[in-house]
Chains A and B, each alone.
Chain A
Amino acid sequence: MIQSLLWMSFTAGLLGGLGHCSGMCGPIVGAFSVSATARARSPLIPQMLYNFGRVTTYTALGAVFGGVGSFVGLASGMEWAQYAVRVLTGALMLLMGLSVAGLTGGMLNKLESHNSLVLRAARSVRGAEAWRFLPLGLMLGFLPCGLSYSMFMASAGSGGAAEGAINMLAFGLGTVPAMLLIGYLAGRLGSALRGRLYRLGGMVVALMGVYYIYGGLSFYAHM
């Protein structure tokens, strides 16, 4: 793949990150960062782990699309899983937001004592430790996104798995500055908020979770 195309993919990620991604995924990144006060040496570590996971997923998907050489067949099948990730993400945000807002009482702890697959997945990304942001990033890389679909289309036409992977790696790296900034600022905000403001923030996160669940379920309702 020629350098100019890689530069275009990187630029698409950079400009998309500042505009599209900030609006669509910024709330998710912000929500997790506000809700989870990560115990890390530096507040940047959780964000870097999250973005590493996300870009890894993009790169892997780019390799798959490039290797298969077709966007439509693969994307149609993948959409079902992607919107399931969106619903799961929304559910996580809802739970975390309600927990931060102090509205769950002991319910959340009782739920998490069950060992269903979904709750095990939730436990792996919920918590204060910085390392949890890595599986979170890996998972959220699957979120459906119109901009990333366009990049997957380019990867499918790139000529091979390696080319497709590099294309998505360039795109993913372009999105990192904006996502890093949003997550870092949200984490600092979470640390600075106290008492009632923090609980209000939790409510906002919970409502965003409802929005993402609604969007995900709407996809299945219209199919």
Chain B
Amino acid sequence: MSKRVRTSFFRIFAPLVLPAVVSALLSGCVRGSEMPPPDCMPEMGACIQNGLSFSISPSPVRAMRELMISVGLLPLDGDMAGASGELSVMSELIVEFTMPGMKMGENRVRLKRNAHGIYEGKGILPRCPSGQRLWRAAVLAPGAAEGPGREMAVFLFEAR
């Protein structure tokens, strides 16, 4: 291949190939590994798992806004079973927010039990500049304040 052809090839082909390669790499970086689909839509009402109800207001859930996070205990088969039974004696709960595939720092919200038996607390979800919107909320077992904590229920939802 002559030098002239090689130079032309470089000048014409490289600007076409490079965007495709880099975009593919960057989109892989942005999305990370396969993301699970959200299983909770707070704007549709409370989400329920393992005897716990989880809700966020105001709706729709937006990043960089103060949010009210609520967790309620649901009796199963007329009795407090599962996570409900275990947590029903606690005056506080911790909900830990993480973003799958992206380190966003520690974000734990402490919920206090109100007069109606609902655990409530205020929290904030930081915005991810990569555009990722999927969040993971894990309701942690008692004693979680001192350490990683056992996850009683996990909810995947999107924040705008």
Contacts and interface: CB of A to CB of B under 8 A. Distances in A.
A15 B104 CA distance: 11
A121 to B, nearest CB: 21
Contacts of B127: 79, 144, 146, 149
A207 B22 contact: yes
A43 interface: no
Interface stretch (A110-118, A185-193, A196-204): A196-204
Interface in B7-61: 10, 14-15, 18-19, 22-23, 26, 29
Q: Chain A: interface secondary structure?
A: helix
A15 B131 contact: no
Contacts of A24: 129-130
A151 interface: yes
A75 B129 contact: no
B26 A211 contact: yes
B65 interface: yes
Range, interface on chain A: 35 or more
A115 to B, nearest CB: 31
Interface in A10-51: 12, 15-16, 19-20, 23-24
Most B CB atoms within 10 A — which of A146, A200, A219? A146
A204 B130 CA distance: 19
Given A72-B64, A207-B19, A207-B22, A153 B102 contact: no
9 pairs of A and B residues whose beta carbons are closest in the complex: A150-B105, A149-B126, A20-B103, A146-B128, A144-B129, A146-B104, A207-B22, A146-B126, A147-B105
